[in-house]
Chain A
Amino acid sequence: MKRFLSGNEAVAWGAWESGVHVAAAYPGTPSTEILETFAPMPDVYAEWSPNEKVALDVAVGAAYAGSRAMAVMKHVGLNVAADSFFYASMTGLEAGLVIVNADDPFMHSSQNEQDNRRYAKFARIPCLEPSDSQEAHDLVGVALDISEQFDTPVMLRLTTRISHSSSLVELQGVRPPARTEKPPYRIDTTKYVMVPGNARRRHPVIEERVTKLAQFAETFPYNRMELKDRALGIVSNGVAYQYAREVFPEASMLKLGMTYPVPAKMLREFASQVERLIVIEELDPFLEEEIRLLGIAVEGKSIFPICGELDQQVVRECAIKAGLLPPSARVPVVTPEKGPLPSRPPILCPGCPHRGTLYVAKKLGLVVNGDIGCYTLAFQPPLGALHTCGCMGASIGVAHGVAKAGIAQRNIAALGDSTFFHTGMPALLNVAYNRSNVTTIILDNRTTAMTGHQQHPGTGRTLQGRETVQVEFEALAHAMGIQRVHTVDAYDLKAVEAALKDCLEADEPALIVARRECALMPEARKQWMPLQVNAERCNGCGLCFRIGCPAVVKSGELDAKTGRPKARIDPLLCTGCEICAQVCTRRAILFRHQLIENKEQQQ
């Protein structure tokens, strides 16, 4: 059966068809849809774990227990899970374990651009790389087989362009029959207890495994030589292979489906058959270095860029510059003189509950140590209310460090509900235990919004839709030893301000839960009601423009006195959150109840 699937959907299908029973992940672009596709499939267990390390430990546990397992994360997620990644390499497993890792070249939605093939090599874990959805599907099963054959976790490395592009996939549509009886847990302490004595015995085993894998790579069918014109030989992998094929239809290619370890013999043979050998790969010169280590002369990053994504245009231009293609190969491009165009960066949605909270922080002149989530967008003008953002969970720890260093003013920490569970919790415990006067705001929108509204321990639902415990931040903070805790409606600017002032006056750890569900949630959508500006009262003072809501726009009408354009509210965008109405000192923006009263009077 043929289906048109994204790489992520194809991975989910591949996992299901190859009998993966347990899968765990933390949502992260571009990897999120893998678990969302997998979770509703029959006879599987899938979960959102609070962070990637937990997810990997869960998958390892399932594989120790003899079930095929999958852990999924974006590239930076593997930084969080790195500790587990390394021990899992040491212990090996009882059943197949595939770790799906999605790198994000060009950082479409990430804070850095790391190439995680280096992690695979670092931890001596084989790395497979698909170049389209079909291979994304097929390589999951292949990875699990390799995992079992060589007693190792296997990394399946995707990139954004593989995850989020779609092509045809031939599916089996069937799954091997499930285990009928539950086997006993196999105890093997020398293998699974990594105390120094055991670990010392394991390390040579791991090195030997890499040697065997390298031999296996020589005949691995996804490492494929396509011999055509011998003047140019291209080694490539992943989506870069597709760009290379498009630009050099006649060149000889060695396409590597396994990029760690590399097949030395195959590479030597390929090199000997072509006149000029180049590598086309995204991000790091990973294959280039591996080939050079074999003593083979090769070019790569001297021709193609190390930063960002490739595409056929980049590959073609670079190839022309390096004399690999004639200038006539250039595709004609017309770049008209456009003059300055207004940019359209991502922004907080109209009606976003974070807008109100962070507006108040800005109004009070506070420095905010922020975190990864929708609210990160509040760093931009006109809101300009967020001042640091490093990685998931960094906000509270950074604010604590600032407080301990001692500065004139008070910084606050702000992070989302899901991020709090991810890595904010231990950081808050640190604030409580080591007593800094950090005020932490949990921007609690009742979901993991930025990745597309996933559940977490605060929502009371699991990924597979079961009802579950709903953790209360307030009780948690109390248990950690934080006495000063406020819960406020994030749309209520006065309440947010009062809570913040109370916390800042006190010299102790404090927590504010600024709660209001994300404006895009189905329940919130039902409440949408566009507000209106009373043009007679508005004098174009511009206060309401400073909150950075895209629904507040300048109208064509100028105020007679000030000469400034009056405000208008776009009814297609406005949700009626009333943040602008609270900001307007002239009461020119009608509140919801006023609009309803007006309507009733008209009838």
Chain B
Amino acid sequence: MSERSTEQTPINFLLAGVGGQGTILASDILAAVGLSIGHDVKKSEVHGMAQRGGSVTSQVRWADKVYSPLIGLGEADFFLAFEKLEALRHIEMLRPGGTVLVNDYAIPPLSVSSGNDDYPDNARIERILSAVTTRYYWVPAIALAESLGNARVNNVVLLGALSHFLPHVPLAVWLESVRERVPQRFADLNERAFLAGREAMEKDR
């Protein structure tokens, strides 16, 4: 971490998924974590026209002083893809050699379900990702979330996985930010989801 000190360069997080998947909540948590550890933070989200089913992106930047609320092309240090196809759609946003975490989950768009387009298979996805970085990781976030009893918390599983790559952020800060932002009765479930994601990455290495 010492070479990419946040004093000069922000840490940029890109989150991308499909409307209804909880990307906005995840970026809220990520912003809160950045603030808790003393950074200046900017967050930006794109509202499309539809409520459910369209592409959604959200961006968070941490630094001593953040100017632009947006991440430029090739500037994302971490990319959390909540859906596989959306990982491909935005991969050029990643800094070459940056880290991308891909939720192993497909939501086929209409053009696929109506048979006009093909959904890329995992081998093709890996081929494309690896042109930009070798640091790509599959996260079985839906499977982990389901094993905890609720597929919806897959967004927090992904955050847990991300936390593995930010060792300078204390675990307690993550857990507190998660608990503060989810409905109280789901706080324990979300904490378990976070830890499951974090552990999955530890095992993976």
- The residues of A with any CB-CB pair to B shorter than 8 Å are 4, 29-30, 108-109, 132, 161, 164-168, 239, 242-243, 245-246, 311-313, 316, 331-350, 374, 376-377, 382, 449-450, 452, 520, 542, 545, 548, 550, 552-554, 565, 572-573
Q: Chain A interface: which of B63-71, B155-163, B182-190, B192-200?
A: B63-71
Decide: B128 and A168 in contact? CB cutoff 8 A. Answer: no
Residue of B with least CB distance to A518: B51
Report the minimal beta-carbon distance from B131 to chain A, rounded to whole angstroms.
Answer: 3
Cβ-based interface call for B54 (8 A) = yes
CB of A109 within 8 A of CB of B49, answer yes
CB distance from A109 to the nearest CB of B (A): 5
Task: Give the distance in Å from the alpha carbon of A565 to the alpha carbon of B111 in the complex.
Answer: 15
Given A166-B69, A331-B73, A347-B54, 11 more contacts at CB 8 Å? A4-B31, A164-B46, A166-B31, A166-B44, A335-B92, A337-B131, A344-B53, A347-B110, A374-B50, A542-B115, A554-B115
Q: Are the C-beta atoms of A331 and B75 separated by less than 8 Å?
A: yes
9 interchain residue pairs of minimum CB distance: A346-B50, A313-B72, A165-B69, A336-B131, A333-B74, A342-B117, A346-B54, A165-B44, A553-B113
Which one of B35, B46, B49, B88 lies within 8 Å of A168 (CB-CB)? B35
Do A165 and B72 form a contact, CB below 8 Å, given A333-B92, A338-B128, A349-B50?
A: no
Q: Determine if B32 is an interface residue (Cβ-Cβ < 8 Å).
A: yes
Interface string of B112-138 (1 = CB under 8 A from A): 111101111000100011011000000
Measured CA separation A350–B44 after assembly (Å): 27
Q: Mark contacts of B19-35 with chain A using CB atoms, 8 A cut-off: 1 yes-contact digit, 0 otherwise.
A: 10000000000011001
Give the shortest distance, in Å, between A566 (CB) and chain B (any CB). Answer: 12
B72 CB contacts on chain A under 8 angstroms: 311-313, 316, 331
- Beyond A243-B67, A336-B92, A336-B128, whether A548 also contacts B110 by CB under 8 A is yes
> With A and B bound together, what is the CA distance between A342 and B108 in angstroms?
9
Q: Which of B19, B48, B68, B129 is within 8 Å of A242, CB to CB? A: B68
Q: CA A178 – CA B166 in complex, angstroms?
A: 49
Which chain B positions have C-beta within 8 A of A449? 51
Q: Does B140 contact A (CB under 8 A)?
A: no
Q: What are the residues of chain A within 8 A of B74 when measuring CB–CB? A: 313, 331-334
The distance from the CB of B69 to the nearest CB of chain A, in whole angstroms, is 3
User: What residues of A have a CB within 8 angstroms of the CB of B31 in the complex?
Assistant: 4, 166
> Could you say which of B49, B55, B73, B96 contacts A377, with CB atoms under 8 Å apart?
B49
Q: Please name all residues of chain B whose beta carbon is closer than 8 Å to the beta carbon of A245 when the two chains form the complex.
A: 67-68
Q: Do residues A165 and B115 form an inter-chain contact, with CB atoms below 8 A?
A: no
Q: Is there contact, CB below 8 Å, between A165 and B43? A: yes
How many angstroms from the CA of A275 to the CA of B91 in the assembled complex? 39
Min C-beta distance of B110 to chain A, whole Å:
6
CB pairs A–B below 8 angstroms (21 shown): A29-B47, A132-B69, A164-B45, A165-B69, A166-B43, A166-B69, A167-B42, A239-B68, A243-B67, A243-B70, A331-B74, A332-B95, A334-B132, A342-B108, A342-B109, A344-B109, A347-B53, A347-B110, A377-B50, A548-B110, A553-B113
Interface of A is mostly: loop
Q: Is the CB of B67 within 8 A of A246?
A: yes
The answer for the CA separation of A579 and B42 in the assembled complex, in Å, is: 43
Asked if residues A342 and B119 are in contact (CB atoms below 8 Å), the reply is yes
Q: A313-B73, A331-B72 are in contact. Are A349 and B48 (CB under 8 A)?
A: no
Known: A243-B68, A341-B89. A332 touches B96 (CB 8 A): yes
Report how far A374 CA is from B19 CA in the complex, Å. Answer: 14
B135 → chain A closest CB, angstroms = 13
| Cβ contacts under 8 Å, B85 to chain A | 341-342, 344
A166 engages B88 (CB within 8 Å) = no
Select from chain A the residue with minimum beta-carbon distance to B74: A333
List residues of chain A with CB within 8 A of the CB of B35. Answer: 4, 168
A167 touches B69 (CB 8 A): yes
Contact of A545 among B43, B55, B113 (CB under 8 A): B113
For the complex, give the distance between the alpha carbons of A347 and B109 in Å: 10
Task: Determine whether the beta carbon of B52 is less than 8 Å from that of A520.
Answer: yes
In contact, A165 and B42 (Cβ under 8 angstroms)? yes
Chain B residue contacts of A339, Cβ below 8 A: 120, 124
Chain B residue nearest to A239 in the complex (CB):
B69
Cβ contact within 8 Å between A550 and B53: yes
Give bound CA distance, A550 to B112, whole Å: 10
**Chain B nearest Cβ from A571, distance in angstroms:** 11
Residue of A nearest to B47 (CB): A29
Give the CA-CA distance A548 to B124 in the complex, in Å: 27
Residue pair A344, B52 in contact (C-beta under 8 Å): no
Shortest distance in angstroms between B43's beta carbon and chain A's nearest beta carbon? 4
Q: Which residue of A lies closest to B40 (CB)?
A: A168
Residues of B within 8 A of A331 (CB): 72-75
Give Cα A293–Cα B94 distance, bound, in whole angstroms.
42
B18 with A344: CB separation less than 8 A: yes
Instruction: For A239, list chain B residues within 8 Å (CB).
Output: 68-69
Residues of A within 8 A of B46 (CB): 108, 164
Indicate whether B148 reaches chain A with its CB closer than 8 angstroms. Answer: no
Given the complex, which residues of A lie within 8 Å of B81, measured CB to CB?
A: none
Any A CB within 8 A of the CB of B143: no
Q: Which residues of A contact B44 (CB under 8 A)?
A: 161, 164-166
Contact A553 B70 (CB under 8 A): no
Q: Nearest chain A CB to B95's CB is how many angstroms away?
A: 8
Q: Shortest beta-carbon distance, A362 to chain B, in Å?
A: 15
